[in-house]
Structure 1
Amino acid sequence: MRRSMKLAAVVLSGSLGIASLAACGAKSDSTSGSSSATAGAGASGLKVGMAYDIGGRGDQSFNDSAARGLDKAKNELGATVYEAEAKTGEAETDKEQRLKDLVSSGYNPVIAVGFVYQDAVNKVAKDNPNVKFAIIDSASADQPTNVTSLTFSEEQGSYLAGVAAALKSTAKHVGFIGGVQSELIKKFEAGYVAGVHSVDPNMKVEVTYLTTPPDFSGFTDPGKGKQAAQGQLDKGADVIYSAAGSSGNGAIEAVAGANKWAIGVDSDQAAQPALQKYSARILTSMVKNVDVAVFKYIESVKNGNPITGVKNFDLKEGGVSLATTGGHIDDIKKQLDEAAAKITSGQTKIPTAPQG
C-alpha cells in the first residue's frame, strides 16, 4: 500500500433506478445520459452519493484519492455509497442532473469532486435545503449554507515538491505541467516555483498548461501530457512535476523513458498499479489527501455534527504530503524537514498565484 510522508512541524514523516441499483451493487448509466455510476450497499442508514470529476475512479490521481475516502466510509462507517461518473465535454445541465438524481434517490450527503461542480452544487443545494452537500476544491461567496467546501493548501505541498526537484536536478532546469490553466492549478505552479527558487533563485522552470477553460480535457489526455513533457525534456529539464490528472500519466511515461525524474500529484503515483512500472523514475508525488477530507466530512455527518462552511486541509493538518515510495528522497529528508517546519511555523509564506 502507499506510504506517504506527512510533513508537519519538524516531522517528515435519479430516482428509483438509482435506489434499486444501490441495493444490488450494479452499474448503470444515469438518467441524464451523461455519466455512469456504481453503487455499493453498507450496513448503516447513512447514504452517501459521490459525483466524480472527469477522469473518475481509476484516474490514478485526484478522483482516486476521493474514492479512497468513500471506500473507507463504506467499510468503517457502514455507509451505503453511490458513485456517479462524469464525461469529458458534458454540459452544465448534466452536472446538475447528476446531483438531482442522487438527491431524489435519498443520498445525503452528496459530495461533488472538483471545482467544475460549483455552479451546479449551488443551484441544486438551494433547491434542496434539507440535503447536505460538500464540494472539493472550491468555495464561493454565494454558496448556500447547506454546502461545505473542502479545500487544500496545494501550494504548501507543491513548495516541498519544488524543493525536492531543485535539490535533485543536475541540469539546474526543471519543469511544471498544469492540466488546465485555472486558479486552482496556478496554486500548484506558484508553490512549486517558489520551492525551486528557495533552493536556487536562478534555476530555470519551464511552465506548460495543456488547456484553458472551458476546455477541461487537459485533465484527461495522457497524450497531451506526454507531448508537453517531451517538449520540456527537449529544452533540458530533468525533473518535471505534473498537476494534470490522468494527463500526468503521459508526462510520467515520457520522463521515465528519458531516465529523468517525474513528480506525481494527488495520489502516491509510484504506488498506483498503472504507473508502478515507472516507479523507479517517480521521485515523489505531492499527495493531496482528499481521502482524509472526504472521510472526515462523512464521519462528521454520521456523528450529527457536520463540518460546515469552508474547511481547509493544510500541511500541518496532513492535508498535503510528499510520498516516499521508492526512497528516492530519503537523502534530502533533512532539507525537506527544515522546509516543512518553516511552513508550519509560519516563517515561510508561500504564494498562491504565480509571481511575475
Structure 2
Amino acid sequence: MKKYVRGTAIVGVLTLAVAACGSKPSDSASSGSSANKDFKACMVSDSGGFDDKSFNQTSYKGLQDAVKERGLTEVKAESKSDNDYTTNMTAMVSAKCNVIVAVGFKLEDATEAAAKANPNIKFAIVDSAPKAPIANLKPLLFNTAQSSFQAGYLAAAMTQSGKVGTFGGLQIPTVTIFMDGFAQGVRYYNTQKSKNVQVLGWDDQKQKGLFTGDFEDKAKGQNNAQNLITQGADVLFPVAGPSGLGGLQAAKASNGKVNAIWVDTDGCISAEEYCSVLMSSVEKGMDVAVKDAVISVVDNKFDNTQFTGTLQNGGTAIAPFHDFDSKVPADVKSELDQIKADIISGKITIESKVQPKAS
C-alpha cells in the first residue's frame, strides 16, 4: 500500500446507486474518460450510512476517488440497519461487481461469507480481518490507538476542569481502540507533568465505560455527552459515528465551556458546523486505503495482505487544529510531535489489546 498522498486526477464516472430494502436503483452519468466503464467498483455501508460525517463517508470518498481517476462504474448499497448487510452484499454480487468494499466491523460475517462463495470477485473490508486469510479478501485496518494517544495528551493539556470524557457507540474493538489510546494518552500526560487529569466514560484497564448502544441516535450521544459535562468534563471524545454528533451538539451548546475531538475524519471538513468546538480530530486514512485497494484490482495487482494504517505510514494521524491553532501552546504542539516520534520508534508503547498487528 502506498504512502498516504491524496490524488487530484478527475475524470468521468457513471454511478449506479443500489439502495437497501428493495428501493429502486438510480443511475447517472457524467462526461469524461470511460476507459474502464465495464469495471464495477462497489461498496456496502454499515447502518450509519454514507453521509455519517465519519468512517462510511470517508471510505466512500475513496471509492469515488478511484472511480473518477480510472473511469469506473460505481455501485453502492447503503444499509439502513444491521439486517441489510447480507441482502446488500448479495445485491452487489448479483450486480457482477469486480470489487466489493465493505465498510465496518459489523459487516465481517456477510463479507467473509460472500468472499468464500464468490472466489472470482475481489473484496476488501474496512476495520476487520478474517481469523484465517481468505484469498480474495483484503483487510484494511488502522491502529488508531496511536493517534488517539496523541488526542488524549492534547485533551489533558487543554482541559481547564481537570476532567475529560469519552463515550462510544458499541463496545467493539474498532471503537474501544480509540478510547484505549485516549485514556493512555491522558495517563502519559499525568506522568510527564505530575498532574491528575481524570478520564470519565472509559476505564481502559477494566474495559468498562459509557456507550450509546448504536451509531445512529444523536439524542443518545447528546445525553451521554451531557452526563459527562455534568460530571465536570470540558473536553469530549465521542467515538460513535453519527450518534457522536450529539456530543458535538452538547459541546457547541455550552457556549465555549466545552470542546471536543472528533474521530475517523477531520471534523472541521466533514462536520464543519462544529469546527468552532473541535480542537482536532483522529483521522483514519480510509479514503486512500479504499482507493488503493480498488485500483489494485483494476491493475491486476490485488493481494490479500492486510494493510495496517499507522502514524509511521500516515494511515492515521491527528488533524490540524484549525480554529484552535492559536490556542494550543507551542510547547504542547512540540510535545505532540515528539510523542508521534516516540510511538514510531517504540519508545512509547501503547497497551491496547485490540490494536491490529503491523502489516
Match of 1:86 in 2: 79
**1:249-302: CA deviations, max 9, x gaps?**
110010121121111111111222xx3232111111111111011011112112
CA distance 1:295–1:130, shift in 2 (3 Å): same
- Of 220, 244, 261 in structure 2, the residue corresponding to residue 224 of structure 1 is 220
Match of 1:136 in 2: 126
Match of 1:265 in 2: 263
2:177 & 2:42 partners in 1: Cα distance? 28
1:73-112 aligned at under 5 Å gives the runs 73-88=66-81, 90-91=82-83, 94-112=84-102
Cα deviation for residue 40 of structure 1 reads 5.9
Cα deviation for residue 27 of structure 1 reads 4.7
**What SS is found at the alignment partner of 2:211?**
strand
Cα deviation for residue 211 of structure 1 reads 4.1
2:235 & 2:117 partners in 1: Cα distance? 48
1:36 & 1:227 partners in 2: Cα distance? 36
1:244-283 aligned at under 5 Å gives the runs 244-258=240-254, 259=256, 260-272=258-270, 275-283=271-279
* Runs of 5+ consecutive residues of structure 2 not aligned to the other structure: 5-12, 202-208, 355-359
Cα deviation for residue 142 of structure 1 reads 3.4
Cα deviation for residue 38 of structure 1 reads 6.0
Match of 2:111 in 1: 121
Cα deviation for residue 144 of structure 1 reads 2.4
Higher relative contact order, chain-length normalized (CA < 8 Å, sep 6+) = 1
Match of 1:149 in 2: 139
Is 1:349 equivalent to 2:318 in the alignment? Answer: no
1:1-356 aligned at under 5 Å gives the runs 25=15, 27=17, 29-30=19-20, 33=22, 43=34, 44=36, 45-88=38-81, 90-91=82-83, 94-201=84-191, 202-207=196-201, 208-212=209-213, 218-258=214-254, 259=256, 260-272=258-270, 275-329=271-325, 331=329, 332-353=332-353
Return the TM-score normalized by structure 1. Answer: 0.84
Contact 2:212 2:243 survives alignment (8 Å): no
Q: Cα RMSD over matched residues?
A: 2.1
1:210 & 1:39 partners in 2: Cα distance? 38
* Runs of 5+ consecutive residues of structure 1 not aligned to the other structure: 1-5, 7-22, 213-217
Contact 1:37 1:85 survives alignment (8 Å): no
Cα deviation for residue 203 of structure 1 reads 1.7
**What SS is found at the alignment partner of 1:219?**
coil
**What SS is found at the alignment partner of 1:264?**
strand
Return the TM-score normalized by structure 2. Answer: 0.84
Q: Which moved more, 1:313-322 or 1:345-354?
A: 345-354
2:117 & 2:199 partners in 1: Cα distance? 46
**1:112-160: CA deviations, max 9, x gaps?**
0001111111111111111111111011213522111100001011111
2:172 & 2:24 partners in 1: Cα distance? 26
Contact 1:187 1:351 survives alignment (8 Å): no
Contact 1:36 1:85 survives alignment (8 Å): no
CA distance 1:189–1:122, shift in 2 (3 Å): same
Count of aligned pairs between the two proteins: 321
2:24 & 2:217 partners in 1: Cα distance? 19
Contact 1:37 1:83 survives alignment (8 Å): no
**What SS is found at the alignment partner of 1:316?**
coil
1:311 & 1:40 partners in 2: Cα distance? 33
Q: Which amino acid aligns with 1:286?
A: V
Cα deviation for residue 231 of structure 1 reads 0.5
Using the aligned pairs only, state the percent identity. 33
Contact 1:27 1:39 survives alignment (8 Å): yes
Q: Which moved more, 1:306-315 or 1:226-235?
A: 306-315
